[in-house]
Amino acid sequence: DTEVTQTPKHLVMGMTNKKSLKCEQHMGHRAMYWYKQKAKKPPELMFVYSYEKLSINESVPSRFSPECPNSSLLNLHLHALQPEDSALYLCASSQAGQAIYEQYFGPGTRLTVT
Amino acid sequence: GEDVEQSLFLSVREGDSSVINCTYTDSSSTYLYWYKQEPGAGLQLLTYIFSNMDMKQDQRLTVLLNKKDKHLSLRIADTQTGDSAIYFCAETTSGGYNKLIFGAGTRLAVHP
């Protein structure tokens, strides 16, 4: 099973709302990632968790707050977003460690901020 | 620095071969990947090649790596309409955390 699931598929939120994106994998991977993808652009890394600890924050604004409650789940909490935050948010997972491991992506959550 | 470049668009006839090209600048790149993204969907890992290899074949897909020129290509044999998608080349370097650096993506259009 190489599946990464993400919910919801689509999300529309106002600038004052608080919402969360969820990601789940059951491949036993201990590294999980959030990427942001704007239209017609490649994905850009936001956060990396390794063994449930935040390893990389690519200077992401604090209105995005990641959380890794256990080795299978990854959340992205959203608060006071701006219209320019509208994008496809992709979750990925891989084995963890110093070696290079292939990343498997979920289908994404398409977020629209109004 | 890290930079990955791809041509933006390729149009091929159904049944022909497609060749998508990519160049990268980081000589310490360890793995190079090809991902496929269909409209409105996530990224599907197609194949990858380790930097000490020069070729990898997987069914209709052939990856060629010219390390001297830092050039990577993906050949799709007998291209079908279902192959229409955006193809991203990506690299990672050693040093932990598996950071993927993507190219801009090549849109492949397959016509009858």
Task: Give the pLDDT of chain B (112 residues) as one tens digit per residue.
Answer: 568 999 899 999 999 999 999 998 877 767 899 999 998 888 999 999 988 889 999 999 999 999 889 999 999 999 999 999 999 999 886 655 678 889 999 999 999 9
The length of chain B in residues reads 112
pLDDT for A38 equals 95
- Is there a contact between B45 and A105 if contact means CB atoms under 8 Å apart? yes
Helix (H, G, I), strand (E, B) or coil at B15: coil
What backbone torsions phi and psi does residue A83 show, to the nearest 5 degrees? -55, -35
CA-nearest residue to A105 within chain B is B43
Q: Could you tell me if A100 lies within 8 Å of chain B, comparing CB atoms?
A: yes
Maximum alpha-carbon separation in chain A: 41
Nearest alpha-carbon partner for B35 in A31, A37, A47:
A37
B41 contacts in A (CB within 8 Å)?
A: 107-108
Whether chain B has a CB inside 8 Å of the CB on A77: the answer is no
d(CA B100, CA B93): 8
pLDDT in tens, A2-31: 689 999 999 999 999 999 999 999 999 999
Which percentage of chain A shows pLDDT scores above 70?
96
Q: CA-nearest residue of chain B to A31?
A: B97
Residue A42 forms contact with B (CB below 8 Å): yes
Q: How far apart are CA A91 and CA A107, in angstroms?
A: 8
Nearest Cα residue to B46 out of B37, B60, B34: B34
CB A44 within 8 A of CB A90: no
> Is B53 an interface residue toward A (CB < 8 Å)?
no
Q: Where are the alpha helices (DSSP H) in A16-91?
A: none
B/e letters for A15-35, b = 16+ CB within 10 Å, e = fewer, are eeeebebbbbbeeebbbbbbb
Q: Which residues of B touch A105 (CB under 8 A)?
A: 35, 42-45
From chain B, the residues in CB contact with A55 under 8 A are: 96-97
User: Which chain A residues contact residue B88 at CB under 8 A?
Assistant: 42-43
**What is the CB neighbour count within 10 angstroms for residue A61?**
11
